[in-house]
Amino acid sequence: MINLLKMKIKNYMKTIFFLLCLLFSYKQLYAQDNFITNVNNRTHQSLGGKWKYIIDQYSTGSIGFSPLYENKKPADKTDRVEYSFDQAQSLWVPGSWNAQKDELYYYEGSVWYRKTFDFQRKLKNSRVFIYVGAANYKTDYSFNGKRLGTHEGGFTPFSFEVTDLIKDKDNFLILGVNNRREKENIPGMVTDWYNYGGITRDVTLVEVPQNYIDDFTIALKKETALSKEKEIVGSIQLTGPKHPTEAMIEIPELGLSKMIHINKEGKGNFSFKTRKVELWDPENPKLYTINISTDEDHLSDQVGFRSIETKGTQILLNGKPIFLRGISIHDENPTREDRANSMDDARLTLEWTKELGCNFARLAHYPHQENIVRLADELGILLWEELPLYWGIDWKNEEVLANAKRQYAEIIRRDKNRAASIIWSIANETQPDEARNHFLTEVAQYIRKIDPTRLLSAACKKDSWHDGDKSKWYMVSDPIAKELDIVSFNEYLGWYGGDPIECREKNFKIAYEKPVIISEFGGGALQGFHADSKTRWSEEYQANLYKENIDMFERVPGLSGMTPWILADFQSPLRQLPNVQDGWNRKGLVSEKGRKKQAFYVLQEYYESKKKQYAKK
Query: Could you read off the pLDDT of 78-111 as tens digits, one per residue?
Result: 999 999 999 999 999 999 999 999 999 999 999 9
Of 170, 190, 208, which marks where a domain is finished? 208
Domain that holds residue 343: 310-615
Query: Could you read off the pLDDT of 266-292 as tens digits, one per residue?
Result: 999 999 999 999 999 999 999 999 999
Same domain? For 325 and 287 the reply is no
Phi, psi of 469 (to 5 degrees): -75, 175
Same domain? For 424 and 456 the reply is yes
Q: Which of 25-29, 71-75, 483-487 is least confident?
A: 25-29
Residue 133 belongs to domain with CATH number: 2.60.120.260
Same domain? For 490 and 602 the reply is yes
Instruction: Give the DSSP per-residue string, 4-72.
Output: HHHHHHHHHHHHHHHHHHHHHHHH-----------GGGSEEEE--EEEEEEEETT--SEETTEEGGG--
Q: Considering the domain boundaries, does residue 3 fall inside one?
A: no
Same domain? For 296 and 280 the reply is yes
Q: Considering the domain boundaries, does residue 264 fall inside one?
A: yes
Is-contact 419 304, C-beta < 8 A? yes
Task: Report the pLDDT value the prediction gives residue 472, as an integer from 0 to 100.
Answer: 87
Q: Considering the domain boundaries, does residue 10 fall inside one?
A: no
Mean pLDDT value across residues 146-159: 97
Same domain? For 201 and 267 the reply is no
Of 267, 288, 306, which marks where a domain is finished? 306
Decide if pLDDT at 119 tops 50. Answer: yes
Same domain? For 270 and 391 the reply is no
Same domain? For 386 and 467 the reply is yes
Mean pLDDT value across residues 546-565: 98
pLDDT, averaged across the chain? 93
Task: Report the pLDDT value the prediction gives residue 33, as an integer from 0 to 100.
Answer: 56
Q: Considering the domain boundaries, does residue 14 fall inside one?
A: no
Of residues 16 and 196, more confidently modeled: 196
Task: Report the pLDDT value the prediction gives residue 468, as an integer from 0 to 100.
Answer: 67
Among 116, 138, 193, 32, smallest CA distance to 571 is for: 193
Same domain? For 368 and 500 the reply is yes
Residue 220 belongs to domain with CATH number: 2.60.40.10
Among 280, 276, 272, 278, smallest CA distance to 231 is for: 272
Task: Report the pLDDT value the prediction gives residue 144, as an integer from 0 to 100.
Answer: 98
Among 349, 414, 354, smallest CA distance to 379 is for: 354
Same domain? For 339 and 293 the reply is no
Query: Could you read off the pLDDT of 137-149 as tens digits, one per residue?
Result: 999 999 999 999 9
Query: Could you read off the pLDDT of 317-367 as tens digits, one per residue?
Result: 999 999 999 999 999 999 999 999 999 999 999 999 999 999 999 999 999
Query: Could you read off the pLDDT of 204-234 as tens digits, one per residue?
Result: 999 999 999 999 999 999 999 999 999 999 9
Q: Considering the domain boundaries, does residue 487 fall inside one?
A: yes
Same domain? For 329 and 280 the reply is no
Task: Report the pLDDT value the prediction gives residue 23, as an integer from 0 to 100.
Answer: 38
Q: Count the alpha carbons within 13 Å of 504 in the hemisphere toward its beta carbon.
A: 5
Same domain? For 271 and 396 the reply is no
Of residues 391 and 471, more confidently modeled: 391
Q: Please report which confidence band the pLDDT of residue 617 belongs to, taking 50, 70 and 90 as the band edges.
A: low
pTM score, whole prediction: 0.93
User: What's the domain count of the chain?
Assistant: 3
**Can you say how many angstroms the Cα of residue 236 is from the centroid of all Cα atoms in its chain?**
25
Q: Considering the domain boundaries, does residue 545 fall inside one?
A: yes
Of 178, 208, 238, which marks where a domain is finished? 208
Same domain? For 446 and 530 the reply is yes
Task: Report the pLDDT value the prediction gives residue 471, as an integer from 0 to 100.
Answer: 78
Task: Report the pLDDT value the prediction gives residue 1, as an integer from 0 to 100.
Answer: 45
State the Cα angle at 429 between 427 and 431, rounded to 5°.
Answer: 95
Contacts of 104 (CB under 8 A, 6+ apart): 55, 97, 98, 111, 197
Decide if pLDDT at 29 tops 90. Answer: no
Q: Considering the domain boundaries, does residue 35 fall inside one?
A: yes
Q: Considering the domain boundaries, does residue 458 fall inside one?
A: yes
